[in-house]
């Protein structure tokens, strides 16, 4: 069977949750037994989001094969079982970089390089490359909003694909906003009409409209939108605000969106079985407890900067049946205002990944507070590195301990670049793997856990695969005093040299991982480390309440 394409565009305003709507639809199609995958096309000029500040564009999601991608790919993996790879996300910048490289090489044989056909052809080629025979449906989400200058080549490529692939095998979904105007007490359909007009002017007639609103869109409004936008009424879907994004698959199904699509594509498949999503919602709505976790980071202005971590904490809440309140705490405030004003009342502390020195001393203070007060501590990537620095400085008698990322010529580089690190026997440390993007350790890497460690017990196995994104490593040469003081290294990379996991056994729950477990957490399965961290948070809360 030839693959079917669903193109998803957005209109009126950005931030309507196009990624979540796309992922939710994919989840319903997957629940019908279809093999589904998703691509995200980003119209900006950066070659990938790896270099964009998380405060601007949200977190950088890392795929198993080591691609630094848009955070929407994280939504895709949380909603469907298909794993994303390099080719599931590309930007205008990547397209241009490819074309310009070929142009310099002389591949175009003297032709004038133009948006049409060269840019649009490359976009089409890359979409088709992502649509392998393994899948029944490929959903293609176009970033940005219709009307943006940058989106035009992408929309033009879709317009061409609709004709070239065959109309029966393609569908265009447009996501719009239907705002409620309080003064008149009405939902307004005009912005949607304008947005569809804009799409039509590019040559794309949407087949389905998903209308975002703060409330249910009534039949009469759907009728009106249908008439003005030339879309059948049953293809006007109301997507009102809901308290949990994991309710959206059911919301789409209840309006027959998946039926409509399957009929259009002539796909014969059973009704969607959403029982595992119903279970997620049931646990979310029937909690038996509540804990509060602090994330001490420096990109807290934008909640999306730690999206996979906040979701993983919520998943752990679902699995434990606890509400997890998440406090985003600015690590610089911890430095400025002190522990009392910033960290009091937390049942657990998590320090996430990060780059650069700003805010690091506040993170170190947070580790110290968690360690000294037996508060569950989870350090991820940079969060593991600062935990090691804190321990070295305050427990192992190494007051100058630091990372060469923060002080280039530091006297006691317990964390350093690989070529600055030595093994315990004094030999230079090296990488022994292929998944290196530039100097970064990226993507899935094998880690071996020491039997008997807490982390081993949590995973229930000794060989794990987790995703990485970092440049600096634990400097094994300086580990002697640290280990002697009680910190244990319980996880090692494939070649047994690089420290992957640290623990402090005199503390009820103190774990640091060089990898990013948050990228492997899903609402249906959770992730063992996060699930146990939240369980430990509840244990701490009980213990603490008994003490006071
Ligand atoms: N900045 C640190 C490094 O490059 C940690 C990176 C991270 O937390 N993702 O190693």
Q: Is the CB of 80 under 6 A from ligand 1?
A: no
Give the pLDDT score at 48.
86
Describe the crossing of helices 152-165 and 92-105 by its angle, rounded to 10 degrees.
Answer: 80
Strands 322-330 vs 289-297: parallel, antiparallel or unpaired: parallel
- Please tell me the predicted confidence (pLDDT) of residue 432: 64
Percent of the chain with pLDDT strictly greater than 70? 98
* 11 C-alpha to ligand 1 centroid (Å): 36
| Token output for 444 | 């899935």
The gap from C-alpha 517 to its chain's centroid, in whole angstroms, comes to 11
**Is the CB of 363 inside a 6 Å radius of any atom of ligand 1?**
no
Q: Which atom of ligand 1 is nearest to the CA of 381?
A: 8
Give the residue-averaged pLDDT of 256-284: 96
pLDDT of residue 437: 46
Ligand 1 center to residue 309 CA distance, Å?
15
Q: Is the pLDDT score of 454 beyond 80?
A: yes
Ligand 1 atom at shortest distance from the alpha carbon of 405: 1
* Rounded-to-integer distance, Cα 214 and Cα 180, Å: 7
H-helix or E-strand spanning residue 142: strand 137-142
Q: What is the mean pLDDT of residues 357-364?
A: 95
Is any ligand 1 atom within 6 A of the Cβ of residue 382? yes
Q: What are the pLDDT digits (tens) for 43-54?
A: 999 998 888 888
Q: Which of 354, 357, 442, 516 to mutate to test the pocket of ligand 1 (most atoms within 8 A of CB)?
A: 354
Q: How far is the CA of 379 from the centre of ligand 1 (A)?
A: 12
- With b for 16 or more beta-carbon neighbours within 10 A and e for fewer, the 243-271 pattern comes to eebbbbbbbbbebebbebbbebbebeeee
Q: Which amino acid residue places its CA nearest to atom 5 of ligand 1?
A: 382
Contacts of 33 (CB under 8 A, 6+ apart): 269, 270
The model's confidence at residue 435, banded by pLDDT at 50, 70 and 90, is: very low
What is the average pLDDT value for the chain, to the nearest integer? 94
Q: In 3-state terms, what secondary structure has residue 187?
A: strand
Contact present, 475 and 420 (Cβ < 8 Å): yes
Closest atom of ligand 1 to CA, residue 383: 8
Contact 329, 82 (CB under 8 A): no
The protein residue whose alpha carbon is closest to atom 1 in ligand 1 is 355
Q: Which residues are catalytic?
A: 381, 516, 518
Which helix H or strand E contains 8, and what residues bound it?
Answer: strand 4-10
208-213 and 236-240: which strand pairing? parallel
pLDDT in tens, 161-205: 999 988 889 999 999 999 999 999 999 999 999 999 999 999 999
Reply yes or no on whether the pLDDT at 438 is more than 80. Answer: no
Report whether residue 471 contacts ligand 1, using a CB cutoff of 6 Å. Answer: yes
Determine the pLDDT at residue 388.
98
Q: Whose CA is nearest to atom 8 of ligand 1?
A: 353
Question: Ligand 1 pocket test: which of 54, 350, 405 has the largest number of ligand atoms within 8 Å of its C-beta?
Answer: 405
DSSP string, 293-304: EEEEES-TTSGG
Please state the atom number of ligand 1 nearest to the C-alpha of residue 469. Answer: 9
Per residue in 373-397, pLDDT tens?
999 999 999 999 999 999 999 999 9
In the sheet where 401-403 sits, what is the strand order?
A: 401-403, 412-417, 472-474
Where do runs of H (alpha helix) occur along 3-82? 18-30, 54-57, 72-79
List residues bridging with 526 in a β-sheet. 522
Torsion of CA 145, 148, 154, 157, to 10 degrees: 110
**Which tokens sit at 355?**
């780059």
Q: Which atom of ligand 1 is nearest to the CA of 354?
A: 8
Lowest-pLDDT range of 183-187, 422-426, 455-459: 422-426
**pLDDT for res 132:** 80
CA of 502 to the centre of ligand 1 (A): 16
With residue 46 as reference, give the H or E element that holds it: none
For a ligand 1 pocket test, name from 384, 385, 417, 419 the mutation site with the most ligand atoms within 8 angstroms of its C-beta. Answer: 385
**Cα 138 from chain centroid?**
20
CA distance 285 to 275: 15
Q: State the pLDDT at residue 40.
A: 96
Q: Is 470 in the pocket of ligand 1 (CB under 6 A)?
A: yes
d(CA 269, CA 251): 19
| Residue 178, helix vs strand vs coil | coil
DSSP letter string, 194-257: HHHHHHHHHT---SEEEEEESSPPPHHHHHHHHHHHT--GGGEEEEE--S-GGGHHHHHHHTTH
The b/e string for 81-94 (b: 16+ C-beta within 10 A; e otherwise) is ebebbbbbbbbbbb
Phi, psi for residue 387 in degrees, rounded to 5: -65, -40
Identify the helix (H) or strand (E) that includes residue 191: helix 190-202
Which comes out higher in pLDDT, residue 476 or 494?
476
What 254-262 contacts at long range (C-beta under 8 Å, 24+ apart), as own/partner pairs, is 257/25, 257/28, 257/208, 257/210, 258/25, 258/28, 258/29, 258/32, 260/208, 260/234, 260/235, 261/6, 261/25, 261/29, 261/171, 261/208, 262/29, 262/32
Cα 456 to middle of ligand 1, angstroms: 24
Residue 422 CA, ligand 1 centroid: distance in Å: 19
pLDDT digits (tens, 9 = 90+) for 293-304: 999 999 888 888
Q: Express each pLDDT in 396-410 by its tens digit.
A: 999 999 999 999 999
193 touches 229 (CB < 8 A): yes
Mean pLDDT (whole number) for 483-490:
96
pLDDT band for position 434 (50/70/90)?
very low
Cα of 446 vs centre of ligand 1, distance in Å, is 18
């Amino acid at each position: 069977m030839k693959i079917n394409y669903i193109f998803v565009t957005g209109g009126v305003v950005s931030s309507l949750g196009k990624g979540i709507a796309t992922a939710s639809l994919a989840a319903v199609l997957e629940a019908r037994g279809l093999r589904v995958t998703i691509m995200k096309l980003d119209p900006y000029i950066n070659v990938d989001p790896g270099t964009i500040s998380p405060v601007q564009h949200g977190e950088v999601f890392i795929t198993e094969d080591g691609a630094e991608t848009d955070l929407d790919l994280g939504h895709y993996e949380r909603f469907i079982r298909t794993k994303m790879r390099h080719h599931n996300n590309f930007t205008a910048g990547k397209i241009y970089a490819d074309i310009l490289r070929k142009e310099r090489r002389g591949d175009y044989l003297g032709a004038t390089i133009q948006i049409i056909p060269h840019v649009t052809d490359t976009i089409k080629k890359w979409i088709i490359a992502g649509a392998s025979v393994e899948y029944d449906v490929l959903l293609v989400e176009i970033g940005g909003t219709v009307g943006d200058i940058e989106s035009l080549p992408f929309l033009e490529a879709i317009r061409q694909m609709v004709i070239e692939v065959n109309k029966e095998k393609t569908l265009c979904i447009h996501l719009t906003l239907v705002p409620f105007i309080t003064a008149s007490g009405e939902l307004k359909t005009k912005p949607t009409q304008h947005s569809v007009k804009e799409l039509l002017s590019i040559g794309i007639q949407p087949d389905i409209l998903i209308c975002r609103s703060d409330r249910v869109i009534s039949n009469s409004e759907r009728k009106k939108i249908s008439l003005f936008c030339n879309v059948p009424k049953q293809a006007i879907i109301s997507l009102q605000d809901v308290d949990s994004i994991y309710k959206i698959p059911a919301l789409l199904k209840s309006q027959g969106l998946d039926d409509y699509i399957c009929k259009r594509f002539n796909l014969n498949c059973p009704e969607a079985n959403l029982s595992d999503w119903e279970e997620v919602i049931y646990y979310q709505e029937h909690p038996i407890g509540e804990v509060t976790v602090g994330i001490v980071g420096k990109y807290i202005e934008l909640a999306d900067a730690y999206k996979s971590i906040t979701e993983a904490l919520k998943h752990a809440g679902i699995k434990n049946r606890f509400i997890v309140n998440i406090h985003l705490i600015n690590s610089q405030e911890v430095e400025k205002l002190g522990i009392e004003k910033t960290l009091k009342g937390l049942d657990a502390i998590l320090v996430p990944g990060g780059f650069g020195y700003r805010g690091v001393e506040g993170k170190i203070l947070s580790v110290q507070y968690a360690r000294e007060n037996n508060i569950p501590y989870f350090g991820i990537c940079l969060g593991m590195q600062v935990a090691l620095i804190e321990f070295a400085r305050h427990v192992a008698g190494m007051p100058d301990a630091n990372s060469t990322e923060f002080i280039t010529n530091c006297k006691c580089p317990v964390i350093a670049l690989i070529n600055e690190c030595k093994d315990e026997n004094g030999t230079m440390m090296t990488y022994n793997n292929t998944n290196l993007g530039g100097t970064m350790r990226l993507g899935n890497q094998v880690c071996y856990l020491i039997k008997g460690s807490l982390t081993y017990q949590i995973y229930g196995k000794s060989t794990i695969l987790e995703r990485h994104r970092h440049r600096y490593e634990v400097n094994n040469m300086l580990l002697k005093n640290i280990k002697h003081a009680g910190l244990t290294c319980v996880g090692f990379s494939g070649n047994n040299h690089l420290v992957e996991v640290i623990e402090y056994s005199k503390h009820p729950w103190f774990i640091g991982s060089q990898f990013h477990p948050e990228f492997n957490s899903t609402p249906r399965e959770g992730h063992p480390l996060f699930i146990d961290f939240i369980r430990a948070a509840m244990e701490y809360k009980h213990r603490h309440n008994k003490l006071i």
